[in-house]
Amino acid sequence: MANITVLGAGGWGLALAKLLFENGNNVTVWSAVEREVEELNKTRENKQSLPGVIMPEGIVITSDLDASIKDKDILVMAVASKFVRSTAARLKGKVKDGQIIVDVAKGIEEETLHTMTAVIMDELPNVNAAILSGPSHAEEVGKGLPTTVVAGARDEETAKYIQNVFASNVFRVYTSPDMLGVALGGSLKNVIALAAGIADGMGYGDNTKAALITRGIKEIASLGVAMGADPKTLNGLAGTGDLIVTCASMHSRNRRAGILIGQGKSMQEAMDEVHMVVEGVYSAKAALALSKKFNVEMPIVEKVNEVLFDNLNAKEAVNSLMLRDKKDEYALAWSK
Q: What is the pLDDT of residues 193-210, one digit of tens each?
A: 999 999 999 999 989 989
Average confidence (pLDDT) over 73-83: 96
Q: Angle at CA 271, nearest 5°, toward 268 and 272?
A: 85
User: Is pLDDT at 275 greater than 80 in this prediction?
Assistant: no
Q: Do 21 and 92 share a structural domain?
A: yes
User: Is pLDDT at 276 greater than 80 in this prediction?
Assistant: no
Q: Do 219 and 118 share a structural domain?
A: no
Using pLDDT thresholds of 50, 70 and 90, give the confidence band for residue 315.
confident
Q: Which of 189, 209, 285, 303 is labelled catalytic?
A: 189
Question: pTM (2 decimals)?
Answer: 0.93
Q: Do 222 and 134 share a structural domain?
A: no
Q: Do 237 and 191 share a structural domain?
A: yes
Pairing of strands 26-30, 60-62: parallel
Q: What domain range includes position 91?
A: 3-177
Which are the contacts of 232, defined by CB distance < 8 A and separation ≥ 6?
Answer: none
Give the model's pLDDT for residue 43: 96
Q: Is residue 167 part of a domain?
A: yes
Total domains in the fold of the chain: 2
**Percent of the chain beyond pLDDT 90?**
78
Q: Do 139 and 214 share a structural domain?
A: no
Q: Is residue 331 part of a domain?
A: no
User: Is pLDDT at 265 greater than 90 in this prediction?
Assistant: no
User: Is pLDDT at 323 greater than 80 in this prediction?
Assistant: no
Give the model's pLDDT for residue 270: 85
Whole-number Å distance between alpha carbons of 262 and 270: 10
Average confidence (pLDDT) over 228-239: 96
84-142 pLDDT, tens digit per residue, is: 999 999 999 999 999 999 999 999 999 999 999 999 999 999 999 999 999 999 999 99
Whole-number Å distance between alpha carbons of 279 and 298: 18
Q: Do 197 and 224 share a structural domain?
A: yes
> How large is the C-alpha radius of gyration of the chain?
20
Q: Do 115 and 96 share a structural domain?
A: yes
Tell me the torsion sign for CA atoms 230, 156, 290, 253.
positive
Q: Do 218 and 172 share a structural domain?
A: no
User: Is pLDDT at 330 greater than 80 in this prediction?
Assistant: yes
The domain boundary, picked from 177, 206, 229, lies at 177
Candidates 225, 214, 212, 240; CA nearest to 303 is 212
User: Is pLDDT at 234 greater than 90 in this prediction?
Assistant: yes
Give the model's pLDDT for residue 122: 97
Which are the contacts of 69, defined by CB distance < 8 A and separation ≥ 6?
Answer: 5, 7, 30, 75, 91, 94, 95
Q: Do 134 and 95 share a structural domain?
A: yes
Give the model's pLDDT for residue 172: 98
Q: Is residue 203 part of a domain?
A: yes
Average confidence (pLDDT) over 5-31: 97
Give the model's pLDDT for residue 187: 93
Q: Which whole-number Å values give the CA distances from 149 to 4, 62, 104, 172, 332, in the listed order?
A: 19, 28, 11, 6, 32
148-194 pLDDT, tens digit per residue, is: 999 999 999 999 999 999 999 999 999 999 999 999 999 999 999 99
57-73 pLDDT, tens digit per residue, is: 999 999 999 999 999 99
Give the model's pLDDT for residue 329: 85
Q: Pick the more confident residue, 315 or 83.
A: 83
CB 10, CB 78: distance < 8 Å = yes
Alpha helices in 1-137 (DSSP H): 11-22, 34-43, 65-69, 84-90, 116-123
pLDDT, the chain, mean: 93
Q: Is 218 a catalytic residue?
A: no
User: Is pLDDT at 326 greater than 90 in this prediction?
Assistant: no
Q: Is residue 182 part of a domain?
A: no
